[in-house]
């Protein structure tokens, strides 16, 4: 039974790289009908914040990455970590190190001067008498041989034990360290596949050694290459990379972001668009790319537009309602959101843009001075006829509204292309909107007449 986990440290937003890792863990669990676990690695008390925990939970919820188990918090598991540390000390798999800061610093300087890699020299490893004063606990890493594992993305990797230090597993204040808590959790939570960023690749041999010392079979590992910015450097805030929830604010649909993230570092032939079910069906760890992928905001926008255009408007409406509310628009008084979405979906790349351009369906328009030039005196007879035509229409449909405009244009010897722009400005306060008949239809008869009255003189 496959069990994967997403294990973020709550020290910032849920960023793009983290969301992609979460997605891969989730997809693999779903594909294998396994279990997906969320674990918050919050042992770094100085850097972890409640806001970041919330940002992670919100991001996961918005992306619909649901988990069967968790969220587990490492800070709630200190008793368990201490128990394992005591056990390892008792079994001689770990030892107390009393070396002072000064000694370690001097050691380090001497090694650097000899151009050696700084590492702990094992001074306390075999001491028979306990030392004095405060101590940390170090793992007794094997000194010979090598750790070898088959990374599901990278292939076979080998690390010589001589290169690995006797890692500190508990600091002098007793708190457990990162590599140790991950091991205890992966073991206790029966994780079968660790899918994570390749910045952790050097931790893996250390974690495998600790797992073996605990007589556990290590899980399988898949290290996912990092995401690059357009300049080839690791993606960061400098590239405008932001937290997942900012993508919501910017008007992306979660499925567009998921589709984008899935393809960013994984492929199935040259297919670009995948429904969630297709992703679950086709996703395989073995198809994760070995080379880092570059973040491409244009492609994300393109996918977003695709999903806005092709998704069920009722589904888009849930997200669109959030944007309208966020922009302070009361949508109870006006057309149904799905009708607005149907009218606008061809011409907007983001839902935020759609919301900004849909206010006039629900609110009075404010006409700028500049727009008033669209209503010259010679158009007044035509605009008056449009108003009266709309007022007396027996039915209120796109076709009947179009009929009014066409008849007035014909009667006045005007091109529809001359009349429609003026009507559009009267209706919306601007020059961009869906086709004029649909726009008037959705604005509604009463409002349409009021708006024409405002420009007729």
Residue number, 288 or 343, with CB nearest to ligand GLU: 288
Give the CA distances from residue 431 to residues 96, 251, 409, 444, in Å, rounded to whole numbers and listed in that order.
75, 22, 19, 19
Of residues 344, 264, 271, 268, the one with CA closest to residue 300:
264
Q: Residues binding ligand GLU: what is the number (CB under 6 A)?
A: 8
| Residues near 65 by beta carbon (within 8 Å), at least 6 away in sequence | 6, 22, 23, 26, 36
Q: Find the part of the chain contacting ligand GLU (CB under 6 A) among 6-14, 26-34, 165-173, 237-245.
A: 6-14
255 lies in the binding site for ligand GLU (CB under 6 A): no
CA 236, 237, 238, 239 torsion-angle sign: positive
Residue number, 124 or 191, with CB nearest to ligand GLU: 191
Residue number, 41 or 319, with CB nearest to ligand GLU: 41
Residue number, 208 or 404, with CB nearest to ligand GLU: 208
Q: Is 333 exposed, middle or buried (0-12, 13-18, 19+ CB in 10 A)?
A: exposed
User: DSSP secondary structure string, 113-135?
Assistant: HTTPPP----TTTS-SS---S--
Residue number, 51 or 410, with CB nearest to ligand GLU: 51
d(CA 427, CA 423): 6
Beta strands 227-228; 220-224: pairing state: unpaired
d(CA 371, CA 365): 11
Residue number, 167 or 194, with CB nearest to ligand GLU: 194
200 lies in the binding site for ligand GLU (CB under 6 A): yes
Structure tokens belonging to residue 38: 């969320």
Determine which residue in the list 7, 341, 351, 354 makes contact with ligand GLU, applying CB under 6 A: 7
Q: Find the part of the chain contacting ligand GLU (CB under 6 A) among 4-12, 58-66, 347-355, 423-431.
A: 4-12
CB of 247 to ligand GLU, least distance (A): 19
400 lies in the binding site for ligand GLU (CB under 6 A): no
* 5, β-bridge pairs: 37
Determine which residue in the list 63, 84, 164, 182 makes contact with ligand GLU, applying CB under 6 A: 182
CA 300 to chain centre: 12
Site for ligand GLU in 23-62 (CB under 6 A): 41
Residue number, 9 or 384, with CB nearest to ligand GLU: 9
196 lies in the binding site for ligand GLU (CB under 6 A): yes
CB of 256 to ligand GLU, least distance (A): 25
Residue number, 223 or 323, with CB nearest to ligand GLU: 223
CB of 259 to ligand GLU, least distance (A): 23
d(CA 53, CA 38): 11
Q: Find the part of the chain contacting ligand GLU (CB under 6 A) among 156-164, 194-202, 242-250, 415-423.
A: 194-202
Give me the residues that bind ligand GLU (CB under 6 A), please: 7-9, 41, 182, 194, 196, 200
């Amino acid at each position: 039974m496959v069990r994967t986990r997403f294990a973020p440290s709550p020290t910032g937003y849920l960023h793009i790289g983290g969301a992609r890792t979460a997605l891969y863990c989730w997809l693999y669990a779903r594909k294998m009908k396994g279990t997906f676990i969320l674990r918050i690695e919050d042992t770094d008390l100085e850097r972890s914040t409640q806001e970041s925990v919330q940002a992670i939970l919100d991001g996961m919820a918005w992306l619909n990455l649901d988990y069967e188990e968790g969220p587990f918090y490492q800070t709630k598991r200190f008793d368990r970590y201490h128990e394992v540390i005591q056990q390892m000390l008792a079994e001689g798999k770990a030892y107390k190190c009393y070396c002072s800061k000064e000694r370690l610093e001097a050691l380090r300087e001497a090694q650097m001067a000899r151009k050696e890699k700084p590492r702990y020299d094992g001074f306390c490893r075999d001491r028979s008498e306990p030392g004095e004063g405060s101590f940390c606990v170090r793992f007794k890493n094997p000194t010979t041989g090598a750790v070898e594992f088959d990374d599901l993305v990278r292939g076979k990797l080998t690390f010589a034990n001589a290169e690995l230090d006797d890692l500190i597993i508990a600091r002098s204040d007793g708190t457990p360290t990162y590599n140790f808590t991950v091991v205890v959790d992966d073991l206790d939570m029966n994780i079968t596949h660790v899918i994570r960023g390749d910045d952790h690749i050097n931790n893996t041999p250390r974690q495998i050694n600790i797992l073996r010392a605990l007589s556990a079979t290590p899980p399988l590992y898949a290290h996912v290459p990092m995401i690059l910015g357009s300049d080839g450097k690791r993606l960061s805030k400098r590239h405008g990379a932001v937290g997942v929830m900012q993508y919501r604010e910017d008007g992306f649909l979660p499925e567009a972001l998921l589709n984008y993230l899935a393809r960013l570092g994984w492929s199935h032939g040259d297919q670009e668009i995948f429904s969630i079910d297709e992703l679950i069906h086709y996703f395989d760890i073995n198809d994760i790319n070995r080379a880092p992928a570059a973040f491409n905001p244009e492609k994300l926008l393109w996918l977003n537009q695709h999903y806005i255009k092709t998704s069920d408007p009722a589904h888009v409406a849930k997200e669109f309602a959030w944007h309208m509310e966020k922009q302070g628009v009361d949508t109870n008084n006006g057309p149904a959101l799905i009708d607005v979405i149907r009218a606008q979906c061809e011409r907007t790349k983001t839902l935020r843009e759609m919301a900004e351009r849909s206010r006039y369906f629900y609110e009075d328009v404010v006409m700028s001075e500049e727009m008033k030039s669209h209503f010259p005196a010679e158009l007044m007879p035509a605009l008056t006829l449009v108003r009266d035509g709309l007022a007396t229409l027996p039915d209120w449909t796109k076709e009947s509204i179009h009929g009014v405009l066409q008849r007035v244009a014909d009667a006045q010897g005007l091109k529809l292309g001359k009349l429609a722009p003026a009507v559009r400005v009267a209706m919306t306060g601007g020059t961009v909107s869906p086709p004029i008949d649909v726009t008037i239809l959705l604005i509604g008869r009463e409002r349409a007449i009021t708006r024409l009255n405002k420009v007729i003189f």
